[in-house]
Structure 1
């Protein structure tokens, strides 16, 4: 036992090689097991971006990760069906409601002018406005908000909003430092500006609205009473102020929802007897040269 014995280098090398091979095999096994998580994460990212139609079934086995992926895909399928059913229902309801309203307005044109005709005409017009606002809300919440997101000049959007609002030029003053291009959904963003013009003229003491446009913000200024509640109160659906009894309470709600969809913030300030509504964070939509 006391005799000299050299180290057994061959045995040590064999043990080292075996240990390294085991570690490599474990790494490959773990990587293979966790690989479906990467594919599942891509599908979850699509869900976060509201791209439901592009989500695929990535389950390829019976392990726990595959079961989670399969359950996630089945949930997405159900959400698609619910969205399609909701959109189909709302669009059919709005279509069915517009038909009798249109017929009613045509019939009214055949009647003699009197106070009853005026009342009925006002009722039909209010119903038509309500349906159009519901249509805008449906488009935003259905995930189809940016189907037509393209490059537009801010002046073209403003001109279209003024035309839809049907206000006289004498009621609106526009100040712009420089023209620029934005990437927005033309119909939705025009609707947002149109609602701000309607509210600005309607609730101004002088029925006059000033619009200031720059690359930092768009400001809608009118002289009138200060809002009784915070801006967050008026950006909720069907909320009205003390002087908004003839309104549905959807104007600022639609504006705020459209702006949030474009990553723009709506702010309010009251200064020197003037209401100031701002579209902030325009850098998120401005196209740089």
Structure 2
């Protein structure tokens, strides 16, 4: 989960909790206020009923003023009110009526009928309005803080996107974040690091390219000169050395091209891929067996055929006996050869210039090139050893679980 989603989740949780607590407190206070108001009205009702019973109605208005009560016209609210308390008397009844958050006392005694309102409620209602206002201000402040925090960390998203572009191979990309705080320092440090890495990588790439091209000419001249020599043991040794140097140079240039070029994806059959790979090799038909359940592949034919060619070449080079087998079935192509299990994990051999102790040929770039091609396609390379056979499999599914094989 991204930091933006986490902050949004925290904000929504805080907002929900604040509203829930405010609602719960308000409901609790309203209930308490209702109980208090009912008890006060019951006390007031006893005083008013005493006046009615004595027939001292002339003193009623003065007593209402002393109690802080105000007469109310019945017709103004009873149609939209609710009764929260009711008590029947011998000669009448008393009720506490609620309407629009206000409480009224209704008294009926014989022919006397009275509705009064406790003016002290106004203080509570005003306090309630202030509470609502403070709640709105709190929520507004929380939203403002949330937006400010998002604005403060928004540059992190820019830096993250820039880093992803850089890691995907765009070495020229830089972040333009300049905030003057710790995030700005991170952005500046990244730009400096990216600049140094770009120069280092470019210098290495230029060196590889120059060395590769420069070696091609003397190697070609050496091969031509060797052909002029008389047949001898030394001639064969020199020829083999130059062939290995030529292979090494080609591998170096191939790695360089892999880093620079984009894939040219097309759709083709597995049989086409195998034919293309074998066309790059000089191989005796008796040394190879092909088992194919043809299917369609979406990939770069040139590069994927190079990867398969390297696996077949390794199989022929290190197999104890022939034939080696190319097995193609939907979503995977496997090269099977008879021989000892690799001394180390596959990860060791896909590093450049790494070989087994018994490897007397090549410079350890073949599997490295295979892995680069497979990774560039988002495919998978897997290795198993079973019953004396080595299985190198290119799995062509981009959702392949490598741990299951």
State the TM-score, normalized to the length of structure 1: 0.81
Partner of 2:150: 31
Residue 49 of structure 1: CA displacement? 3.0
Q: Which consecutive unaligned segments of at least 5 residues does structure 2 have?
A: 1-66, 69-118, 401-405
More strand, by proportion: 2
Task: Indicate conservation of the 8 Å contact 2:337/2:391, yes or no.
Answer: no
Q: Which one of 202, 209, 213 corresponds to residue 91 of structure 1?
A: 209
Partner of 2:340: 226
Partner of 1:255: 370
**Corresponding pairs, count:** 277
Partner of 1:281: 395
Q: Secondary structure at the match of 1:210?
A: strand
- Provide Cα deviations, 1:128-168, integer angstroms capped at 9, x if missing partner: 1111222334445xx43x61241242333222211112213
Q: Which one of 147, 152, 158 corresponds to residue 274 of structure 2?
A: 158
Partner of 1:73: 191
- Provide Cα deviations, 1:32-56, integer angstroms capped at 9, x if missing partner: 2122122222222323433334x34
Task: Indicate conservation of the 8 Å contact 1:217/1:278, yes or no.
Answer: no
Q: Secondary structure at the match of 2:336?
A: strand
The whole-number CA distance in structure 1 between the counterparts of 2:222 and 2:316 is: 29
Q: Secondary structure at the match of 1:213?
A: strand
Residue 11 of structure 1: CA displacement? 4.6
Change (3 A) 1:244 1:99: same
Partner of 1:122: 240
- Provide Cα deviations, 1:164-205, integer angstroms capped at 9, x if missing partner: 122133322212112312224x44322221122112223334
Residue 101 of structure 1: CA displacement? 0.8
Residue 18 of structure 1: CA displacement? 4.1
Task: Indicate conservation of the 8 Å contact 2:379/2:394, yes or no.
Answer: no
Change (3 A) 1:207 1:34: same
Q: Secondary structure at the match of 1:164?
A: coil
Q: Secondary structure at the match of 2:194?
A: helix
C-alpha RMSD over aligned residues: 2.9
The whole-number CA distance in structure 2 between the counterparts of 1:57 and 1:101 is: 45
The whole-number CA distance in structure 2 between the counterparts of 1:29 and 1:100 is: 65
Q: Secondary structure at the match of 2:326?
A: strand
The whole-number CA distance in structure 2 between the counterparts of 1:285 and 1:20 is: 45
Bigger relative contact order (CA 8 A; separation at least 6): 1
The whole-number CA distance in structure 2 between the counterparts of 1:23 and 1:243 is: 69
Residue 97 of structure 1: CA displacement? 1.4
1:1-289 matches, cutoff 5 A: 5=120, 6-7=122-123, 8=126, 11-12=130-131, 14-53=133-172, 55-140=173-258, 143-144=259-260, 147-153=262-268, 154-184=270-300, 186-223=301-338, 225-227=339-341, 229-232=343-346, 233-241=348-356, 243-261=358-376, 262-271=378-387, 273=388, 275-284=389-398
The whole-number CA distance in structure 1 between the counterparts of 2:165 and 2:272 is: 33
State the TM-score, normalized to the length of structure 2: 0.60
- Provide Cα deviations, 1:248-282, integer angstroms capped at 9, x if missing partner: 333334334433443312212232x4x23231532
Change (3 A) 1:206 1:73: same
Q: Secondary structure at the match of 1:60?
A: coil
Residue 231 of structure 1: CA displacement? 4.4
The whole-number CA distance in structure 2 between the counterparts of 1:207 and 1:44 is: 48
The whole-number CA distance in structure 1 between the counterparts of 2:220 and 2:384 is: 37
Task: Indicate conservation of the 8 Å contact 1:267/1:278, yes or no.
Answer: yes
